[in-house]
Amino acid sequence: MAKQWGGRFVGKTDELVERLGESVSFDQRLAPWDIRASIAHARMLGKQGIIPKADSKKIIAGLNGIAKDIENGRFKFEAKLEDVHSNIETALIRRIGDAGKRLHTARSRNDQIATDVRLWARDQIDAIDELLSNLQHTFLTVAEKHVTTILPGCTHLQHAQPVLLAHHLLAYFEMFHRDRIRFIQLRSRVNIMPLGSAAMAGTPHNIDRFAVADELKFDAISANSMDAVSDRDYLIEFCSCAAITMMHLSRFCEELIIWSTPEFGFAEIADAYTTGSSIMPQKKNPDVAELVRGKAGRVYGDLLALLTLMKGLPLTYNRDMQEDKEPAFDASDTMQLCLPVVARMLSTIRFNEHAMREAAREGFLEATDVADYLVDKGVPFREAHGIAGKMVLHCIKHGKRLPELSLEEFNSFCPRFERDIFGFLKPETMVRRRDQVGGTAPRQVKAAIKRAREILKSLS
């Protein structure tokens, strides 16, 4: 079977080289975008008089027929034809004859694949944005149910200060909001059309790049033909955005894994998102959360693969760049599997409010408020901090909690303490006092939920 580039060659390509060089086994998924771009290109060629309009119409009809066959599973991709482009063009020539041979006028596989992948990436970004939005909605829905649930907030995985569970969950809303903004901003950089750059120097034919860009809904056309065919920054950015999102998913899953242990008992994941043990009948393992946590590393690998691929390539196109697709495909596929499964898992979690509240009684979460109380009484903070620290040490030695100390014990550390200290150290009071924008006070959390709803609406 003749190669598109075979005219200059006499010898047969080695069988191992055929296997090494084929990409259709993975790039065939680009067929819908390849056909869309080819139809727009063919229409432009006919309109500009570069090829006969009759041939342009035949090409478009033939490509539409191939698209239907691919959609219905009737199209056979052949590895000997190397890639998705050659497979489609060869099939087109078989269907419509010599008119099909005119399709590749004024373009190269270099600008063709760059265009296909940008079209693909644009659609993936749109799909991922919708999944991120759905996940954010889920976090908000769960948060709204827990605007009074108190748990220990941690630093260094040690009890720090009491917070509302809703406030904790809204932290993830903010993370995924940043993820959406990153992808939205990337979309504008993706949505630039390289078609018309040809191999690397442009084309002498009187093409209309703007007409093609308009049909394919690109915002702009590339400014430099050499950069256009050799640029893969947008795929690196795509995998970078994916890696950051997966890191956020992994952090949440890590917390679920910890919270579902008997030692914590803060959360119970539904049966649909857990598995058992082949030997231990009692086990209920958080496998879904663990798998998502593990797949974050996989997406990191996709990013590193692309960075390593591109780091030493001279201008312009090099065959190494055939390896750009699988990491990008994998990152996209992994994200589009993990995002909805985490959303579904989160919506079914039962949070143990009693266990969380009991845990908030341990670990001296009141210590900072003791210091703040003394500050309100005129004691310099650094001095107040030292007093509170000594009180914690006293409690550790005597097996007490701070609220269990008597007023006399409080006064033995500082005479500024009064009876109102006991109400000051209630979890509800400590939470309510963090009444600044971004704080964990119920009033602020409710305002944050309202703001989050408005953000989602503005991005819809």
Q: What pLDDT is recorded for position 17?
A: 81
At 18 the pLDDT is 76
Instruction: Kindly state the average pLDDT of the residues 87-107.
Output: 97
Percentage of the residues of the chain whose pLDDT score is greater than 90:
94
Q: What is the pLDDT of residue 14?
A: 75
Helix (H, G, I), strand (E, B) or coil at 201: coil
- Tell me the pLDDT of the chain averaged across its residues: 96
User: Is the whole model's pTM more than 0.75, yes or no?
Assistant: yes
pLDDT at 6: 58
- Per the annotation, the verdict on 156 as an active-site residue is yes
- Those residues with Cβ within 8 angstroms of residue 52's Cβ, 6 or more apart along the chain or in another chain: 46, 99, 102
In the block, which residue shows the tokens 């190669």? 3
Task: Give the list of residues 6+ apart from residue 138 with CB closer than 8 angstroms, or none.
Answer: 343, 346, 347
Q: Which of 38, 41, 85, 156 is catalytic?
A: 156
pLDDT at 161 over 90: yes
Report residue 81 CA to chain centroid gap: 34
- What residue type is assigned to position 126 of the chain? D
Sorted by where each starts, the structural domains of the chain and their CATH numbers stand as: 6-105 (1.10.275.10), 110-154+163-358 (1.20.200.10), 362-459 (1.10.40.30)
CA distance 184 to 87: 33
pLDDT tens digits, one per residue of 231-276: 999 999 999 999 999 999 999 999 999 999 999 999 999 999 999 9
Catalytic residue list contains 205? no
Q: Where residue 108 falls among pLDDT bands split at 50, 70, 90?
A: very high
Question: Is residue 26 within 8 Å of 329, Cβ to Cβ?
Answer: yes
Instruction: Give residue for tokens 């959406």.
Output: 180
Candidate list 277, 354, 398, 406, residue with the active-site label: 277
pLDDT for position 16:
80
With cut-offs at 50, 70 and 90, classify the pLDDT of residue 383.
very high
Q: What pLDDT band is residue 134 in, cutting at 50, 70 and 90?
A: very high
